[in-house]
A = this chain, B = another copy of it.
Amino acid sequence: MKKQVINFSEKFEKFSEKWAPKIIARLNDYHFKLVRVEGHFTWHVHEDTDEAFIVLEGELGIDLEDGNIILKQGELFIVPKGVKHKPFAKKECKVLLIEPIGVINTGNVIGDQTAPSDIWI
A→B interface (CB under 8 Å): 1, 3-9, 24-28, 30, 32, 49-52, 56, 64, 66-67, 69-72, 74-78, 80-81, 83, 98-100
Contacts and interface: CB of A to CB of B under 8 A. Distances in A.
Given A28-B100, A98-B27, A5 B77 contact: yes
A13 B26 CA distance: 30
**Which label, helix, strand, loop or mixed, suits the secondary structure of the A interface?**
strand
Count of identical protomers in the assembly: 2
B75 A8 contact: yes
Given A26-B78, A28-B100, A30-B30, A5 B52 contact: no
A9 B74 contact: yes
Given A3-B64, A5-B77, 9 more contacts: A1-B66, A5-B75, A6-B75, A7-B72, A9-B74, A24-B76, A25-B52, A27-B50, A30-B30
